[in-house]
Amino acid sequence: MEVNYDNGLNLKATELRLGLPGSDEPERQTTPRSNKRTLSEISSSGVTDDGNDYQQDSAPPAKEQVVGWPPIRSYRKNCIHATGRYVKVSVDGAAYLRKIDLKVYRSYPDLLKALENMFKLTIGAYSEREGYNGSGYAPTYEDKDGDWMLVGDVPWEMFISSCKRLRIMKGSEARGLGCV
Amino acid sequence: MSEDDERQQSLPSDIEFISNKARNCNATGSGSGHPEFQSAYPDQVLENVLENVLHFLTSKRDRNAASLVCKSWYRVEALTRYELFIGNCYAVSPVRATTRFTGVRAFHLKGKPRFADFNLMPPDWGAHFNPWALAMAKAYPWLEKVHLKRMSVTDDDLATLAGLFVGFKELVLVCCDGFGTSGLAIFVNKCRQLRVLDLIESEVIDDETDWISCFPEGESHLESFIFDCVECHINFEALEKLVARSPSLKKLRLNRHVSIGQLYRLMIRAPQLTHLGTGSFSHSEIAGQGDQEPDYVNAFVACKSLVCLSGFREIVPDYMPVIYPVCANLTSLNFSYANITAEQLKPVISKCHKLRIFSVLDSICDEGLQAVAATCKELCELRVFPVDAREDSDGPVSDVGLQAISEGCRKLQSILYFCQRMTNAAVIAMSKNCPDLVVFRLCIMGRHRADHVTGEPMDDGFGAIVMNCKKLTRLAVSGLLTDKAFDYIGRHGKLLRTLSVAFAGNSDMGLKYVLQGCPQLQKLEIRDSPFGDAALCSGLHHYYNMRFLWMSSCSLTRHGCQEIARAMPHLVVEVIRSADEEMDDDIEILYMYRSLEESRTDAPRFVTIL
């Protein structure tokens, strides 16, 4: 890949960085207002990739969501999601993901029952204090800001409009969440 | 004062002096009246002649030029300017504007910078309409039209507009916020001469006021009623009655709470419509299953004048065929809220031979765009929006679709295209096939993404656009870009007025090329690019000719911005930070603009004016 620089010194070429030659990193990746990265690091290991077959030039360790990018007004983003809300569902340890239409369900118990049926597991009941303690599974979702949240905390309508994908965590990680 | 007024030679002192003279002239501000012969002006007759001649001059650029000829022309032009356009509400104060221009009947005002739309700036930054409303209430009792874009408008402001301007006819609010249904209720109720109420992409607070019922009884003068962005439920019976008593209604855009059954009822009452926003285009939740379906096709057949169709907010694809009767006449079609496939699009688009303006979601894929290219030979404007607006989403449209459009739609003038994969070849093809392009905005959603076939940066593609599209005035770039792309832009983008840059460039040279090469540049918005203080300084010769410069998450320091502020007294240099951050040396957001005033007094605490 040819990268031309009009200035004399091509310091970038000899710079040591992670990333394929010719790719570039901006000085600032995100504005300071961008998001806490709690579970995203954990999630990117356990969850299969989106299936992008075109190669990204830099090698991003985690897919950081940047504020205001792509430049679409939030009104439009909300409107499009308002119809037919298909989201991916992953379960730790499962070989492949499923997709469900959130619009089909009317409430959290409705959704959880469907997930239990789909994946043949028990999630149990939600409690504000203890989450899903006792079941060994915790349903989580990625919200609009890119944060991983426990399913059940916010009103159903708010959940529907902000949920981008679901992940059913299992084992010790799940228990950790339940105790928050 | 308009955007092109502020040349370096027109310093405030000149304008003050001339304004005084204008006041002494005792003009009533009406274009057709003659000023009284109180003061003895030697060329009074010439001024009268000039007044009548300038009456015909409508373009604001022509008027700006005329006003610079001499003081006499300046004075007369100020008296006869009916339509005042202010591109930046902070560039001039309400008092100054209303003092100079005394005969204004139509007023356009723009506020926040465009990047505020994408949550890059905390809310409550400013752009309050209130001081303008009050100034105009005093100065222009005969005001008829107000067009606002990205302004904060309160319910009180709406009440002012309706209450203090007896002949008020037209209100257009684009990307505005701060008002609610109660403000609308007061406005529509008091505004007896209302012809146009267009609420476009604005945020309207739901006060649960039934504002539609507040339109006065009796025949209405409404010609255009657009409220598709209003997210509140509306009183449909009141709306139906309103439409029934609005014989002049030509443009009607409904919000998504209007079902297709309700749409039918409105359409049969208003077959004279030329522009229709269909609302949800599906059943409401409570629609009876066994109810007789109205004859939707007939409703569309009856609307013989329909040229512009939009809405389809919750479209049920089964209903698409009902619009077939109007497709052949359509010049504008907006499917950008309709999540439809190529197969669902094809039967519609294949009938739209006259289509000039088309907006759509990328759910139609490259195949859908090929269908557009095959039929829409008159296409001038195309916007392709993403269903899934995330960096790492699937990209159903790509260089293939862009290439097809470039080959089929040779008359293309404006394009906005969101995608995940692009090639230089397709962009170059478009630059050659569509030489009439005036607006080229390509958004490759994955940051720093190269040409997906060659792996090269996208420099050559955008280079070809600025080289081959000689009429280009607006450009938005994306993908992996080096300084070379900006070199091309600086060398060839001689007519460029608006440039949007994100995650691009390698060094200060990138910005320098642009600032030194593009003499017509008015609006420059940059985010997350490695441009620093040195680059910023290279534009000092040009900043007074620009409306604004926005730079966020670049490599600027407070010191650098301070230098600019010191060097240019008529530039307002705002440093904006996220509300919870403390001020430090690195600048998060720089927003600077020329102004005839001292820095504004309504800045919130997260804004520091240097």
How far away is chain A from the Cα of B215, in angstroms, using its nearest Cα?
27
Label residues B538-577 b or e (16+ Cβ within 10 Å = b).
bbeebbebbbbbbbbbbbbebebbebbbeeeebbbbbbbb
Chain A residues in contact with B578 by the CB 8 A cut-off are 31-33
CA distance B235 to chain A (A): 21
Q: B392–A63: do the CB atoms touch at under 8 Å?
A: yes
Q: B588 and A69 in contact by Cβ < 8 A?
A: no
Distance from CA of B281 to the nearest CA of A (A): 12
Instruction: Print burial letters for B354-369: b (CB count within 10 Å at least 16), e (below 16).
Output: bbbbbbbbbbbbbbbb
Q: Which residues in chain B are contacts of A65 at CB distance < 8 A?
A: 390-391
A32 pLDDT band, cuts 50/70/90, is: very low
Question: How would you label A123-158 residue by residue, b for 16+ Cβ within 10 Å and e otherwise?
Answer: bbebeeeebbbebbbbbbbbbbebbbbbbbebeeee
Coil, strand or helix: which one is B315?
Answer: coil
**A48–B contact, CB cutoff 8 A:** no
Q: Is A54's CB within 8 Å of B420's CB?
A: yes
Are B204 and B180 within 8 A, CB to CB?
yes
For residues A25 and B445, what is the distance between their CA atoms, to the nearest angstrom? 16
pLDDT tens, B142-185? 999 999 999 999 999 999 999 889 899 999 999 999 999 999 99
Residue B283: what pLDDT? 78
| Residue of A69, A77, A82 lying closest to B502 (CB–CB) | A69
- Digit-coded pLDDT (tens) for B197-226: 999 999 999 999 999 999 999 999 999 999
Maximum Cα–Cα distance for chain A, whole Å? 65
Of A73, A77, A164, the CB nearest to B201: A73
User: Any CB–CB contact under 8 A between A158 and chain B?
Assistant: no
Q: For residue A18, what pLDDT band results from cuts at 50, 70 and 90? A: low
Q: Give the sign of the dihedral formed by CA B68, CA B72, CA B73, CA B76.
A: positive
Question: Which residues of chain B are within 8 Å of residue A67 when distances are taken between CB atoms?
Answer: 118-120
- Residue A63 CA to residue B75 CA, distance in Å, equals 59
What are the angstrom distances between the C-alpha of B354 and each of B174, B375, B490, B527, B559? 27, 9, 37, 38, 55
pLDDT(A136) > 80: yes
Range of weakest confidence among A46-55, A57-66, B198-207: A46-55
pLDDT at A91 over 70: yes
Higher pLDDT, B96 or A162: B96
Question: Which pLDDT value is given to residue B131?
Answer: 96
Q: Which residues of B touch A50 (CB under 8 A)?
A: 392-394
Nearest to A87 by CA among A110, A66, A105, A113: A105
- Residue among A4, A29, A80 minimizing CB distance to B482: A4
Percent of chain B topping pLDDT 70? 91
Burial of residue B13 (CB within 10 Å: 0-12, 13-18, 19+) is exposed
Q: How far is A5 from chain B (nearest CA, A)?
A: 7
B389 and A70: CB-CB below 8 Å? yes
Closest chain A residue to the Cα of B361, Cα to Cα = A80
Give the model's confidence band at A119: pLDDT under 50 very low, under 70 low, under 90 confident, else very high. confident
Question: Smallest CA–CA separation between B243 and chain A, in Å?
Answer: 26
pLDDT at B10: 38
- Most A CBs within 10 A among B112, B384, B392, B487, hence the mutation to make, goes to B392
| CA nearest to B172, candidates B246, B229, B244, B239 | B229
Interface check A54 vs B, CB under 8 A:
yes
Coil, helix or strand for B236?
helix
Nearest chain B Cα distance for residue A134, angstroms: 35
pTM of the model: 0.77
Chain B residues near residue A72 by CB distance under 8 angstroms: 118, 385-386, 389, 418
Asked if A24 lies within 8 A of B386 by C-beta distance, the reply is: no
What is the rounded CA–CA span in Å between residue B98 and residue B84? Answer: 10
Domains of chain A in sequence order: 91-175 (3.10.20.90)
A96 touches chain B (CB under 8 A): no
Neighbours of B39 (CB within 10 A): 11
- Taking the C-alpha atoms of residue A177 and residue A132, their distance in angstroms, rounded to an integer, is 8
Inter-chain residue contact B119 with A68, CB threshold 8 Å: yes
| Closest residue to B314, CB basis, from A72, A76, A83 | A83
Inspect the interface and report whether the beta carbons of A7 and B507 lie closer than 8 Å: yes
The ranges of chain B with pLDDT < 70 are 1-43, 285-291, 579-583
B439/chain A closest Cα distance in angstroms: 17
- Which three-class secondary structure state does DSSP give residue B387? coil
Chain B contacts in chain A segment 109-148 (CB below 8 A): none
